[in-house]
Amino acid sequence: MKIILDFRFWILDWTRKYLKETFQIRILESASGNRKSKIQNRKWAGLFAIVVTFTMCGTAAEAQQPAKVAKIGYLATGSGSGPGRGHELLRRELRALGYVEGKNVTFEYRSAENKFDRLPALADELVRLKVDLLLTPAGAEALAAKKATRTIPIVFYSVGDPVAAGLVDSLARPGGNITGVTTIASVLAGKRLELLKETVAKLSRVAVLWNPKNPGSEQSWKESQFSARELGLQLYSMEVSGADKFESAFKEAIKAGSAALSVISNPLFSTHQKKIADLAAKNRLPAIYPRGDFIESGGLMSYGPDQVEPYRRAAWMVDKILKGTKPADIPVEQPTKFELVINLKAAKALGLTIPPIVLMRAEKVIK
């Protein structure tokens, strides 16, 4: 607005100087009693009044125009008790870019409370609210949002494989009205199995905890099977789609001879981190998790992308889109930072010694 105001005041200044000089000439001419000159003077005076009126009215209108408040719809699968840690991190990163809630941005938060069949209706509800942009964490939410609208921009920030999920045409050229950040979860599922084998001596059978109702979780389970064959490991499919199934799933995994556990990233599991970590300790299963906050809940070890980077990049994308860039013109980004976190307290409780070669690769060690 400052540039517009400066430009208008320049016009006023130029007009004043130009017309002043012109009026001086016209006044001299009018002194001679020339009737034609008098008529022209009145014309110049009228033109000056019009220029001043339009310029000042435009300036006043520009000054009075309120700043647009962006409305962002946030669709999640997790607990309906309120925005979770991911949403809070996004809000923090958006604040760093100048978006202050209640001032120039508002959020409409909707949660399926871990019931995937509710996502389509919630996505439709956000579309009816005419939000300017839709934010989604994982693949299931992003798919629901994509089916609900072809025009409202969508940004996801924790999708394992957006191409395989049918969200985007390619990472470089997402196409349509959607873009975001991938966690390359299916690729990392194999890396976690590799770390488990290096950590647990003579490991041969691993239980893999995944959610059959989540498309991204299923992709990671399939990738785990490919990696297991290369590593000479046998896998036990530990399928859990509801919070009431955890205890029975652990009992069945132990009966099947599982000697370790690999947890696949999933909103349901993120909601129940403490419960999963406690059950793994109770059943004496060395476990590896997809995120560092599982370790804060007492887990043994985790390997995955830096937990802040996806939110920072997603916030950057939101900023670009709200300023006019099309989602199709913003490539899907992959993580550039990864962290291995090890909890030596949990290892000691299990009677497990972490090999030095594994400890050396850890970004964070809890003693």
Task: Domain ranges for the chain, please list them.
Answer: 2-64, 70-182+309-329, 185-305+338-366
For residue 30, the model assigns a pLDDT of: 45
Structural contact between residues 291 and 339, judged by C-beta atoms closer than 8 angstroms? no
- Return the CATH fold of 70-182+309-329: Rossmann fold (3.40.50)
CATH code: domain 185-305+338-366 is: 3.40.50.2300
Q: Let me know the angle formed at the C-alpha of 147 by 153 and 183, rounded to the nearest 5 degrees.
A: 65
Task: State the pLDDT at residue 348.
Answer: 96
116, 118, 119, 123: CA torsion to nearest 10: 180
295's tokens: 């370790």
- pLDDT number for residue 86: 74
**What Å distances lie between residue 184 and 190, 259, 337, 338, 353, CA to CA?**
11, 26, 12, 11, 29
Q: What is the pLDDT of residue 266?
A: 87
Q: CB atoms < 10 A from the CB of 36, how many? A: 9
**H or E segment and range at residue 289:** strand 287-289
Encode the chain (367 residues) as per-residue pLDDT tens digits: 444 444 444 444 544 554 445 444 443 344 445 554 444 555 544 544 444 444 444 444 434 444 689 999 999 987 644 455 777 888 999 999 999 999 999 999 999 988 889 999 999 999 999 999 999 988 899 999 999 999 999 999 989 899 988 999 999 999 999 999 999 988 899 999 999 999 999 999 999 999 998 878 888 999 999 999 999 999 999 999 999 999 999 999 999 999 999 999 988 898 899 999 999 999 999 999 999 999 999 999 999 999 899 999 999 999 999 999 999 999 999 999 999 999 999 999 999 999 999 999 999 999 9
- The answer to whether the beta carbons of residues 336 and 358 sit under 8 Å apart is no
Nearest CA to 316 out of 167, 127, 96 is that of 96
pLDDT for 14 equals 47
CB 165 within 8 A of CB 159: yes
Look at residue 315 in the predicted model and tell me its pLDDT: 97
Tell me, what's the pLDDT at 9? 43
